[in-house]
Amino acid sequence: MLFPQETYVQRRNALRELVGNGLILLLGNNDSPMNYPANAYKFRQDSSFLYFTGQHRDGLALVIDCESGAETLVGDEIDIDDIVWYGSVTSVAEMAKETGIAHVRPTAWLSELCSHAKAQGRTVHFLPPYRSDHKIQLMDLLALHPSQQKEAASLPLIHAVVKLRSIKTAEEIAELERASHIGYLMHTAAMRLAVQPGITEAYIGGQLDGIAASHGSTTSFQSIISMHGEILHGYPSQRPIEAGRLLLCDAGAETVEHYCSDHTRTTPISGRFTTRQREIYDIVVDCHDLALTHAKPGVKYMDVHLDVCRLMTERLKALGLMKGDTEEAVQHGAHALFLPHGLGHMMGMDVHDMEGLGQIHVGFDEETRPRLDQFGTNALRFGRRLEVGHVVTDEPGIYFIPDLIDLWRREGTNAAFLNFDKIDEYRDFGGIRIEDDVLITPDGCRFLGDERIPYHADDVEAYIAG
Ligand code: GLY
Ligand code: MN
C-alpha cells in the first residue's frame, strides 16, 4: 500500500458521498493467462480499485453500501497449492485492516449481495468493464449481457471516480515525478542509441523495457519507436535504423504503484537535423512550448489545442505547405492533415487516465463537447477547463502520412488551405512529435520531472554529440 490508510479512507468516504445511494461494486483485476492459466501476463491491478484500496492482489472486489456506509473487501484466501508455488501472501482480512475496511467476505458472497439488492430494488453501481472475465462476472451477478454493460454502467459512479482521480494530490505528484525520472532515463538512453545507424528499432525498444524493469517498473504502454513517425502508434520493427531519417520514440514508465509517465522525442539518426527536418521540428517545438504559457487553471485545454493548431497553420503557411486564412483553415480542420490528434490527454495511474470510463466523461463536459463530425477534432481526448492538480500531456506533432495526403488530394478535402504539390515533396519525411507531462499549478503549469529530456533542436544535437 503506497499511501497512509487515511488517504484511502478519505477517498472512499468522498466516493460514497458523491454517489449518494445504492451499492458501489468495484472489481479488482484477475490474473490474465497468456497461453495457459499458470503462465500469466504480469499482473496489473485495475487503477480505480487500486486508487480506493491500495491493494495489489488479484481476485479482489470492493463493495460500499452508500446507505449504511459499510465497506467490504471481497476475496478468497489463497490455498496451500498457491503457497507452495508462489509463497504466502497477506490475507484478505489483513489487507482490509491495512486499508481501513471493516468487513471481509468470500467471492461467492457477491451473488447473494446482488440478488438481495435486486429484490430490494437497490442500484448496484459498477464501472464499464474492459476485461472479458469481468464482463462474464457482471453477467452472472447482474443478469446483464456484456453488450449492455457499457450502457448500463453507472454514470454517478463514473462521474464520482473521474472527479476524484482527476485531481492529483501532492503524494500522487511525488509518484508521478518518480515515473518521470524513469522516463528521463529511458529517453536519454534512447536518444544515444538513436544515433547508432544499424541497430534496430526493436533493440532500442528492448533497452527501454530493460531500464523500466530494472526500476521494478514497466513501460506505461507498448513503446512506440519508429523511423516512420507518421504512423502515430508505430511499434518497433526489426529494421535497422538509417542515417538521414528521424527516429520517433514515444515511451513512458509506470512505477510499481502504477503511476505513469509519457514522453516523446524525435531524434535525427545522423546526429544533426537537415534544414528541412529542422524547419518542421522547430514548429513542433514552438507548439510544444505554447502549452507552457497558455495552460493554467480556468483555461479550456480545447482552447490551448486550438491555439497550437493556429500557430502550426501560420508556420506551415510560411513554409508554403498551407495557405488561406488561418482561422478558417483551423475551423475547417485543414491542419489535421498534419496533426490528426489532440494536444494531449490526462495522465495518472493510466497513461490515458481513466480512458476506460469513457473519454466523453473524462475529457469533456457540457461546454467542451468535441466535434465528432470533423477528422482530427474527433480524436481529441481532453478539452475541459484545467484545474489545479490536473496532469495532462502536451504532445503536438507534424506528420506526413502519404495515404492521407493522397486521399485528401483525390477528394479535394480542404484544398483551399493546402498546397498539395508542395506537401508531396515531404511524403517521405516521416513524422515528428514532442511530448511532456504537464501539471497544472495555481499560477499556471509546469512540466513534471526535475530533469528535462532535451528537445530544443540545438540541445538535442548537443546532447547526442556529447
Ligand atoms: N503516448 C501514446 C499516446 O498518448 O497515445
Ligand atoms: Mn501521450
Q: Which domains does the chain have, with CATH numbers?
A: 5-166 (3.40.350.10), 170-465 (3.90.230.10)
Residue with cell 495522465: 347
Asked whether the beta carbons of 18 and 58 are under 8 A apart, the reply is no
Separation CA 250–CA 79 (nearest Å):
42
204 pLDDT above the threshold of 90: yes
Separation CA 106–CA 72 (nearest Å):
10
Separation CA 174–CA 178 (nearest Å):
6
Lowest-pLDDT range, 104-118, 192-206, 362-376? Answer: 362-376
What's the grid cell of residue 147? 453488450
Among all bound ligands, the one having the nearest atom to the CA of 435 is: 2
Ligand 1 pocket by Cβ (under 6 Å): 221, 250, 262, 345
Could you tell me whether strands 61-65 and 23-27 are parallel, antiparallel, or unpaired per DSSP bridges? antiparallel
CA trace torsion 383, 386, 392, 393 (10° rounding):
60
Pocket test for ligand 1, best of 264, 353, 354, 395 (most atoms within 8 A of CB): 395
* Residues recorded for the chain: 466
| Rounded average pLDDT over 255-266 | 97
Separation CA 75–CA 55 (nearest Å):
12
Q: What is the pLDDT of residue 300?
A: 97
Nearest CA to ligand 1 atom 2: 250
| Rounded average pLDDT over 95-120 | 98
| Rounded average pLDDT over 411-433 | 98
Atom of ligand 1 nearest to the CA of 393: 4
Separation CA 457–CA 268 (nearest Å):
10
Per-chain mean pLDDT for the chain: 97
Q: What is the pLDDT of residue 372?
A: 83
pTM: 0.96
pLDDT tens profile 235-260: 999 999 999 999 999 999 999 999 99
Among all bound ligands, the one having the nearest atom to the CA of 221 is: 1
Question: How many whole angstroms from 434 Cα to the centroid of ligand 2?
Answer: 10
Report residue 199's pLDDT band, with 50, 70 and 90 as the boundaries: very high
Separation CA 318–CA 124 (nearest Å):
57
